[in-house]
Structure 1
Amino acid sequence: MHHRSARASLVAIAMLAGLMLTPAPPAQAAAYAGPCQRAMYISYYSTYWISYEKYFPIANGDYQTNCYMSRGASGNHVKALQLALNRCYASTIGTPLVVDGSFGPLTESALKKVQSKLKIAVDGAYGNQTRTAMAWPVYAYPYRAGGSRTYDNRCD
């Protein structure tokens, strides 16, 4: 009888130890809407005639810019990042990236250079800290019928 209670106590202690050794999810990860899955023009300023927009990587929901991506990602969300790196950080990254939508070693290297310039964590991954610190190209979109979106030759 004494051995059963000792064994039960050992099992309970082992279970508690296992719970305490299980790492908690990172607090910052909770702030993400999920992986970036597409890109979207988001208006950040408008006048009577023109909407000024930025082309952001977003998670699956509309306007969810708090997403993340890293090497291996592919799609329009990567193209949005590559365009921003080329247009806003040309002198930092050196050779312009091919805007192919593939987050490979060249995109990762360019992003690390920009992260270093911005004095943020240099990990080559795109997330909230990088998105917030980066400047993004501004596009002008006239409201008139038949108007087309054009790069406004500035970053903000």
Structure 2
Amino acid sequence: MKTPGIKVVATNRRAHFEYFLLEKLEAGIALEGTEIKSIRAGQISLAEAYVRVDGREAWLMDAHIAPYNPASRFNHDPRRPRRLLLHKREILSLWNAVRQKGVTVIPVQVYLKDGRAKVEIAIAKGKKLYDKRAAIAERDVERELRREERERQRY
């Protein structure tokens, strides 16, 4: 996302490899003071994170926001659940999607937009092993084509 006023802080690089991303949404995150300071410093990991949706609320689970060193004893729990700020109709659409078999909601990236932390979440369907192999083969073919193109331009 290359838009002025937006600074990408963390991305979930495995999301595109592990899942087919069906629909994306932007959500705010309810944070404590030390958490936003750590996020601004880039100290967040989405590696094992997922979104849990019940009928009324959506929660960001297992996202690791590192403790903010200057806060010492007033720090936050790095893996605590964080409430996502979404409209009621967006939560209901996520809830309806999650009830289907094989569909989940995952965080794709965290970014700062006008000084506020936002998370891009996606409704996703898990890829099978043969889908992942096809993606790897496609990526290798594209890499080989780019390499050949560079060789041709060299001479």
TM range (shorter): under 0.3
Relative to total residues, which structure has the larger strand share, 1 or 2?
2
- TM-score, normalised to structure 1, is 0.23
Between 1 and 2, higher relative CO (CA 8 Å, sep ≥ 6) is seen in: 2
**TM-score, normalised by the number of residues in structure 2:** 0.23
